[in-house]
């Protein structure tokens, strides 16, 4: 299965720690998107990246959150000094091109903050 791979599937952190979420897009896809989903809600856009570039980060909090998609390796969503409110499912999606191309999703990382 060459779909979007996210790890870890579950991540538990204490308040103040850092969380690193990884996403390997579908092979050949150079566009990556990160979304956040709270229980019983839809997905909310956070950030859109192409290789080595952040294209649109308008949905990502300005503080504590950062994202990267290096030339080699997976895309990383990093949350510093986590707080209880960061508890959510974080999904990564990829597409071969940007714009209106359908995005293909991974199974998410469920982040729990103690």
Partner 1 sequence: GQQLNQSPQSMFIQEGEDVSMNCTSSSIFNTWLWYKQDPGEGPVLLIALYKAGELTSNGRLTAQFGITRKDSFLNISASIPSDVGIYFCAGPPLSGTGNQFYFGTGTSLTVIP
> Footprint of partner 1 on this chain (CB under 8 A)?
4, 6, 33, 35, 40-45, 48, 55-56, 58-59, 91, 93, 98-100, 102-108
Q: Which residue's CB is nearer to partner 1, number 72 or number 102? A: 102
What sign does the CA torsion over 6, 42, 102, 99 have? negative
Q: How far apart are CA 25 and CA 112, in angstroms?
A: 24
Q: Which residue's CB is nearer to partner 1, number 86 or number 103? A: 103
Q: Which residue's CB is nearer to partner 1, number 42 or number 85? A: 42
Minimum CB distance to partner 1, residue 49 (Å): 10
Residues in the chain, total:
114
Cis peptide before 37 (omega within 30 of 0): no
């Amino acid at each position: 299965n060459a779909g979007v791979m996210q790890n870890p599937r579950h991540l538990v952190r204490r308040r103040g720690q850092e969380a690193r979420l990884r996403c390997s897009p579908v092979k050949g896809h150079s566009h990556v998107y990160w979304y956040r989903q709270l229980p019983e809600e839809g997905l909310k856009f956070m950030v859109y990246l192409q290789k080595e570039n952040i294209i649109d980060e308008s949905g990502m909090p300005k503080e504590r959150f950062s994202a990267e998609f290096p030339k080699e390796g997976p895309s990383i969503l990093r949350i510093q000094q986590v707080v209880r409110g960061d508890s959510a499912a974080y999904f990564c999606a990829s597409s071969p091109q940007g714009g209106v191309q359908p995005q293909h999703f991974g199974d998410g990382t469920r982040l729990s903050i103690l």
